[in-house]
């Protein structure tokens, strides 16, 4: 009998604890704001697509929308170098927030705070979509 043992280090646990990786297209115009403390803040939507074949053999695309935020110099970099439609890869973490609505009820939403971003817009979107398996 052979036993396989995986050792997970504390470093690995810390980096995997809350991590999200997405590749998609920026779905909104980029507008950077400055907080009262002078820190740059960028919020935008990111569209990711899933492709599958239905039981009838029809190719189908399903789009999911994600709320993305970036802070400081990273927010400024994204706002200056990317735009609506840019094909990007992001690495970040989930954050959960709430606010009180006009009706007095609490509203909840999830955002992804960017840790790193890569602009894939130099490659043609059509080429990327053709790589998807069907």
pLDDT tens-digit readout, 40-69: 999 999 999 999 999 999 999 999 999 999
Q: To the nearest 10°, the Cα dihedral for 69, 74, 80, 86?
A: -60
- pLDDT in single tens digits along all 134 residues of the chain: 555 555 556 666 665 689 999 999 999 999 899 999 999 999 999 999 999 999 999 999 999 999 999 999 999 999 999 999 999 999 999 999 999 999 999 999 999 999 999 998 865 444 434 344 43
The model's pTM: 0.73
Angle at Cα 99 formed by Cα 109 and Cα 69, nearest 5°?
50
Phi and psi angles of residue 38, each rounded to the nearest 5 degrees, phi first:
95, 10
DSSP-assigned letter for residue 103: T
Residue 42 CB contacts under 8 Å (≥ 6 apart), including other chains: 30, 31, 32, 33, 69, 70, 71, 75, 76, 78, 79
Question: Domains in the chain, ordered, with CATH?
Answer: 17-130 (2.40.50.140)
């Amino acid at each position: 009998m052979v036993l396989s043992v995986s050792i997970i280090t504390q470093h690995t646990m810390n980096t995997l604890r809350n991590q999200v990786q997405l590749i998609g297209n920026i779905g909104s115009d980029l507008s950077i704001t400055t907080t009262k403390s002078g820190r740059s803040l960028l919020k935008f939507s990111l569209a990711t697509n899933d492709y599958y074949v239905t039981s009838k053999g029809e190719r189908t695309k399903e789009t999911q929308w994600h709320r993305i935020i970036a802070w400081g110099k990273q927010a400024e970099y994204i706002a200056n170098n990317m735009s609506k439609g840019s094909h990007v890869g992001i690495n970040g973490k989930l954050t959960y927030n709430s606010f009180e609505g006009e009706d007095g009820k609490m509203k909840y939403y999830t955002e992804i705070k960017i840790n790193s971003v890569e602009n894939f817009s130099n490659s043609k979107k059509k080429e990327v979509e053709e790589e998807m398996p069907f």
